[in-house]
Amino acid sequence: MDTKTDSSTRSRFGALGTSALRPDGIPKVQGRFAFSSDAWADNMLWGATLRSPHPYARILSIDTSPALKINGVSAVVTADDVPGKLTYGLIASDQPVFARDFVRYAGEPVAAVAADHPETARRAIAAIKVEYEVLAPLVDAEEAINPSLEKIHPDGNVIRRQRIVRGDQNLVGDIVVEGTYEIGMQDQAFLGLEAALALPDDDGRGVELFVATQWLHEDQKQIAACLGLDTDRVRLTLGGVGGAFGGREDISLQVHCCLLALVTGRPIKMQYGREESFFGHIHRHPATIFMRHHADRDGKLRRVESRLVLDGGAYASTSSAVLINAVTHVQGPYQCENATVDGYAVRTNNPPCGAMRGFGVVQACFAHESQMDKLAEACGVSPVDIRLKNAMRTGDKLITGQVVESVAPVERCIRETAALPLPAPLPESPDPLEIPGGSGLTARKSNVRRGVGWGVSIKNLMYSEGFDDYATARCRLADGVATLQFATAEVGQGFVVLAQQIARTVLGVDTVLLEPITTAIGSAGSTSASRQTWMSGGAVDGACRLVRERLFEWVAKKNGLDPIRLAVEGTDVVDTMGTLRIAVEEATRGMTFDETFEHHHRPTEELDENGQGNCHVAFAFVAHRAVVDVDPELGLVKVVQIATAQDVGKVLNPLAAIGQIEGGIAQGLGLAVMEEIVLRDGKMRNPSFTDYLLPTALDAPEVIATMIEEPEPQAPLGAKGIGEPPCISVTPAIVAAIRAATGRQLPRTPVRPQDIVFGP
Amino acid sequence: MSNEFYALQVNGIRHEVRDAWVGESLLYVLRERLGLPGTKGACEQGECGSCTVIMDGEAVCSCLVMAATAVEADITTVEGLSSDGEPTDVQRSFVNAGGVQCGFCTPGLIVAVHHLLDRNPSPSDLEIKEAISGNICRCTGYGRIFEAVRQARDARTTDTSGGE
């Protein structure tokens, strides 16, 4: 009956499976959509943050009095003014609201001010006198493992170590290939800078915060603890979010902004500039990964060995989860029975690192895919054949012992990617914009060499290791109009349109209103880990189904029928065994049905000391083929085309899905050829969009994508999360293509011109 | 200084800016003083294009323009592209083609694309890429944005070709 309902409503525009248009689209193109940086209140002050210039130093004294003397400055706060807990953090509470004794990274907050104008605030910050005793920073992640080294934080220098020991530990393959790979520090570089507006309650014992974040309830909990307030006295509303990609999962300005509001009794607006944004949020972990692959002579993978070191920077953030993702995905989407893996996430005086799209798996994938190409070469087979030979299937065991119960169409991903057409060769006289170097007019066509490379990946969906990251949604149906409420952070991905599609499909309504996204309803969990379509989608679906049950009961009662006979068809309630057909709008006139639903995924386990355990919920797979043009003498690269086939479960909105795929590919391209935060002695050298390069329209390759639809039985809507896979294996595919074009080894990403020109 | 003011001509309306610090950028004044927050700031260096406005027929980064130096200019922001509140052809094509995700880069892109199509109604695909290469989008990978511009271009070309 459900199938019948689904197929008859599928074509109705706005329902699931259609390219329904997002409800915030028109306001966004007209400039009317309110981002958190657009929030404004009467009588508001501007907040600003003083940050440490040193990666590691002891604070000897802080003198705020010169700042307070400046006309227009209302308050200066430091660690001494924090009324509650002095630290926060997503997993471990190890990061100070303001540094008190030590600063542990360049850019760490030391004080904040409130003033009548952003420029006054900037001057006030400059006037605060901080006396530091500068210490030698610990900036080498490998060094941080050394237990004899002085601890730079009371929690120690190793944030987490996790081994995986499985199968034969002494197996040596007929073919053995190894390598050490490096991944640079990438920035999320969301366009909408961190911004918030805090409104203090009249009684001074509560605060309301409009903020761009990925997880309202987690922010609420951490803010309340630091302010020493009951959680319900901190109320959050999602301000419009200008992208996130993991960079808004941690606290940035939330506590500072609320604290200034409570201290001054006035609304506070805080907004980072681009440079401060680089200091104010976490980044993708740089990593060094050694891998040794053992295989039979024909290329059948028998054992992987790996040692991974992830630089977590000064504070833990989500480093332990990132590490677990890296170590548990290091085999890639391939069958492998034996593994010896040792992974570290360490603390240094570098900028803190945490979640970014594909967290942990991006790093592991660069290593295992580089290895698969080495293995292919050593076995004398093609990159495609080596991957097909080892492709994982549903029912296979991971190196953690977990059985992959998810649909696992790895072979299809590879074959369907391979079937996509290759791009045309460069024309006889190409436009300079079409060759490496672009408008710089530097490369000559005769020097340009083309290369093709492959990458395939596996990515876990949702949170792991026993964490119950449930999602809540409420549905109200009255007079033919559905109203949905959830705390799911809409960060650009389009959950708002998906939620409407679900309600239209389940309830047969056209009009679906959305309540503001606030903490007034239960948590939706974080918009991360490719989890909201599954989790919040499941919650909205569940709430709508509960409402539909109530509706059927009501219609059945009125018509003397058994509710089990009823179904929604298009916009009608129909009796599947009779003739009754009544419009949902008609059936709900004067009635209100109101239900709330929590969606939980199946439980997961923590890993044991040997890295064994069912720690992940589900998996998604993808293959990428990259075609690049390279000028080997100048070290310039143009990514010409990316072909991809992605395991999506089910396409719920084709337009939104291709947007995720193309967007993820661009970020993976950035990590392959241009994006890196450059550090020297713990200090960022390029915290600006002039020096941290992002892909532009001219860097965007042609993307041809196939979406593989094999509905996932575990997933409430049959759909897997699609946000992360696009950015994971595209990076090693591009680097492999550059290797193919140049013959260079390129063990490091991003590939820099000097790596191509002078590298081994 | 409190009685001093300067005036800006924005979207056909004269605005007086009073009691302002002379160092304020046009972006800041539009957003914080004139109630026109549609123009976005994301880099303060003219690299990302989020703050693009039209000044005397040229697309400029309003973060790089001192507001007080723009007194003689005719300024159009994203809010002023349509006179009747209805979305323009370019605005509609961005929504229909999936060119909008988080939407933060969108106002700047919309202004840049209007500027492009007003000067060159039938740009080639490469001309489109070049014209918007100063506008960074972090969400879409540009694919759906190209599609949006192509749709707007093709619609304009079709509309005008009948009369030729």
Question: Given pLDDT bands bounded at 50, 70 and 90, which one contains residue B83?
Answer: confident
Give this complex's ipTM.
0.97
- How much is the pLDDT for B160? 62
CB contact under 8 A, B45 and A274: yes
CB contact under 8 A, A690 and B142: no
CB contact under 8 A, A663 and B79: no
Which pair of structure tokens corresponds to residue B161? 């070709």
Q: Three-state DSSP class for A490?
A: coil
Give yes or no for residue A3 having a pLDDT over 60: no
Compare all CA atoms of chain B with the CA of A31 and give the residue at the minimum distance: B38
CB contact under 8 A, A698 and B139: no
CB contact under 8 A, B145 and A665: no
Kindly list the distances between the CA atom of residue A755 and the CA atoms of A104, A678, A728, A758, A760, in Å, as whole numbers in the listed order.
32, 15, 22, 6, 8
- How much is the pLDDT for B163? 39
**DSSP state for residue A693 in the 8-state scheme:** -
* Each residue's pLDDT tens digit, A51-99: 999 999 999 999 999 999 999 999 999 999 999 999 999 999 999 999 9
User: How far is residue B111's CA from residue B53's CA, in Å, rounded to a whole number?
Assistant: 6
Q: Are B76 and B62 in contact (CB under 8 A)?
A: no
Question: Given pLDDT bands bounded at 50, 70 and 90, which one contains residue A12?
Answer: confident
- Calculate how close chain B gets to A584, using CA atoms only, in Å: 28
The helix (H) or strand (E) run that includes residue A160 is strand A158-166
Find, among A491, A553, A540, the residue nearest to A512 by Cα.
Answer: A540
Please give the sequence-ordered ranges of beta strands (E in DSSP) within A29-98, or none if there are none: 45-51, 57-63, 73-77, 87-88, 95-96
Tokens 């296979």 sit on residue: A396
User: How far is residue A620's CA from residue A720's CA, in Å, rounded to a whole number?
Assistant: 7
Nearest 10 degrees: Cα torsion A689, A693, A699, A701 = -110
The helix (H) or strand (E) run that includes residue B116 is helix B106-119
Give yes or no for residue A520 having a pLDDT over 60: yes
- How much is the pLDDT for A503? 98
Q: Is B110 on the interface with A (CB under 8 A)?
A: yes
User: Interior CA angle at A399 toward A89 and A287, to 5°?
Assistant: 45
Compare all CA atoms of chain B with the CA of A35 and give the residue at the minimum distance: B104
Helix, strand, coil percent content, chain B, rounded in steps of 5? 40, 15, 45
Among A30, A270, A274, A276, the strongest candidate for a mutation testing the B interface, having the largest count of B CBs within 10 A, is: A30
A268-271/A45-51 β-pairing: parallel
Compare all CA atoms of chain A with the CA of B36 and give the residue at the minimum distance: A31
The interface residues of chain B toward chain A in range 15-44, judged by CB-CB distance below 8 A, are: 21, 23, 28, 31-32, 36-44
Query: What is the distance, to the nearest Å, from the Cα of residue A760 to the centroid of all Cα atoms in its chain?
Result: 33
Locate all alpha helices (DSSP H) within A192-342, ordered by sequence.
216-227, 254-264, 274-280, 319-328
**DSSP state for residue A439 in the 8-state scheme:** G
**What share of chain A in percent tops pLDDT 70?**
98
- Residue burial A21-56, b: 16+ Cβ < 10 Å; e: rest: bbbbbbbbbbbbbebbbbbeeeebbbbbbbbbebbb
Residues pairing with A342 in the sheet: A163, A307
What average pLDDT does this structure show over A693-707? 98
Locate all alpha helices (DSSP H) within A455-613, ordered by sequence.
495-507, 532-559, 584-587
Find, among A195, A238, A244, the residue nearest to A220 by Cα.
Answer: A238
Provide the edge-to-edge strand list for the sheet that holds A102-103: A102-103, A57-63, A129-134
Tokens 């977990």 sit on residue: A402
- Residue burial A490-525, b: 16+ Cβ < 10 Å; e: rest: bbbbbbbbbbbbbbbbbbbbbebebeebbbebbbbb
Classify residue A2 as exposed, middle or buried by CB count within 10 Å of its CB (0-12, 13-18, 19+).
Answer: exposed
Residues of A in contact with B114 (CB under 8 A): none
- Calculate how close chain A gets to B66, using CA atoms only, in Å: 14
**What share of chain A in percent tops pLDDT 90?**
97
Find, among A478, A472, A563, A588, the residue nearest to A523 by Cα.
Answer: A472
User: How far is residue A57's CA from residue A465's CA, in Å, rounded to a whole number?
Assistant: 36
A234-238/A207-211 β-pairing: parallel
Q: Are A318 and A304 in contact (CB under 8 A)?
A: no
Give yes or no for residue B47 having a pLDDT over 90: yes
Q: Which of B42, B45, B94 sits opposite A191 (nearest CB)?
A: B42
User: How far is residue A453's CA from residue A457's CA, in Å, rounded to a whole number?
Assistant: 14
Classify residue A440 as exposed, middle or buried by CB count within 10 Å of its CB (0-12, 13-18, 19+).
Answer: exposed
The helix (H) or strand (E) run that includes residue A596 is strand A592-599
Q: Which of B128, B133, B139 sits opposite A696 (nearest CB)?
A: B133
Tokens 């919040």 sit on residue: A536
The count of other CB atoms within 10 Å of the CB of residue A102 is 21
* Each residue's pLDDT tens digit, A149-202: 999 999 999 999 999 999 999 999 999 999 999 999 999 999 999 999 999 999
Q: Three-state DSSP class for A400?
A: coil
Q: Find the farthest-apart pair of alpha carbons in chain B and give their distance in angstroms, rounded.
A: 57
Question: Given pLDDT bands bounded at 50, 70 and 90, which one contains residue A291?
Answer: very high
* Each residue's pLDDT tens digit, A381-425: 999 999 999 999 999 999 999 999 999 999 999 999 999 999 999
Residues of A in contact with B96 (CB under 8 A): 21
The count of other CB atoms within 10 Å of the CB of residue A11 is 10
User: How far is residue B153's CA from residue B157's CA, in Å, rounded to a whole number?
Assistant: 6
Residues of A in contact with B86 (CB under 8 A): none
Q: Three-state DSSP class for B26?
A: helix
Question: Given pLDDT bands bounded at 50, 70 and 90, which one contains residue A531?
Answer: very high
Query: What is the distance, to the nearest Å, from the Cα of residue A679 to the centroid of all Cα atoms in its chain?
Result: 23
CB contact under 8 A, A696 and B126: no
Q: Which of A30, A274, A659 sits opposite B43 (nearest CB)?
A: A274
Find, among A165, A714, A615, A647, the residue nearest to A408 by Cα.
Answer: A647
User: How far is residue A569's CA from residue A574's CA, in Å, rounded to a whole number?
Assistant: 7
Q: Which of B77, B133, B136 sits opposite A191 (nearest CB)?
A: B136
* Each residue's pLDDT tens digit, B90-128: 999 999 999 999 999 999 999 999 999 999 999 999 999
Q: Which residues, in sequence order, are CB contacts of A223 under 8 Å at separation 6+?
A: A207, A209, A234, A236, A251, A254, A255, A258
* Each residue's pLDDT tens digit, A322-372: 999 999 999 999 999 999 999 999 999 999 999 999 999 999 999 999 999
Q: ω into residue A750 within 30 of 0, thus cis? A: yes
Residues of B in contact with A191 (CB under 8 A): 40, 42, 48, 50, 102, 104-105, 136-139
Q: Three-state DSSP class for A183?
A: strand
Q: Find the farthest-apart pair of alpha carbons in chain A and give their distance in angstroms, rounded.
A: 84
- How much is the pLDDT for A13? 84
Dihedral sign, Cα of residue A375, residue A304, residue A335, residue A285: negative
The count of other CB atoms within 10 Å of the CB of residue B51 is 28
Residue A481's identity, in one-letter code, is V
Tokens 């990316």 sit on residue: A642
Q: Which residues, in sequence order, are CB contacts of A489 under 8 Å at separation 6+?
A: A213, A214, A215, A216, A238, A241, A244, A248, A517, A524, A526, A527
Q: Are B75 and B29 in contact (CB under 8 A)?
A: no
- How much is the pLDDT for A4? 39
User: How far is residue A599's CA from residue A536's CA, in Å, rounded to a whole number?
Assistant: 7
User: How far is residue A693's CA from residue A678's CA, in Å, rounded to a whole number?
Assistant: 11
What average pLDDT does this structure show over A130-150? 98
Q: Which of B39, B79, B138 sits opposite A694 (nearest CB)?
A: B138
What average pLDDT does this structure show over A588-616? 97
Residues of A in contact with B102 (CB under 8 A): 190-192, 241-243, 491-492
What average pLDDT does this structure show over A527-536? 98
Name the packing angle between helices B143-161 and B89-96 (round to 10°). Answer: 140
Q: Three-state DSSP class for A684?
A: strand
CB contact under 8 A, A663 and B138: yes
Q: Is B80 on the interface with A (CB under 8 A)?
A: no
Tokens 């700031």 sit on residue: B41
Residues of B in contact with A119 (CB under 8 A): 21, 23
**DSSP state for residue A265 in the 8-state scheme:** S
* Each residue's pLDDT tens digit, A463-504: 999 999 999 999 999 999 999 999 999 999 999 999 999 999
- Calculate how close chain A gets to B159, using CA atoms only, in Å: 22
Q: Are A678 and A755 in contact (CB under 8 A)?
A: no
Does the global pTM surpass 0.95? yes
The upper half-sphere exposure of residue A249, i.e. CA atoms within 13 Å in the direction of its Cβ, equals 27
- How much is the pLDDT for A571? 95
- How much is the pLDDT for A399? 98
Question: Given pLDDT bands bounded at 50, 70 and 90, which one contains residue A2?
Answer: very low
User: How far is residue A245's CA from residue A239's CA, in Å, rounded to a whole number?
Assistant: 16
**Phi and psi angles of residue B152, each rounded to the nearest 5 degrees, phi first:** -65, -40
Mean pLDDT of chain A, nearest integer: 96
Give yes or no for residue A231 having a pLDDT over 50: yes
Q: Are A190 and A242 in contact (CB under 8 A)?
A: yes
Residues pairing with A163 in the sheet: A342
Residue A67's identity, in one-letter code, is A
- How much is the pLDDT for A10? 43
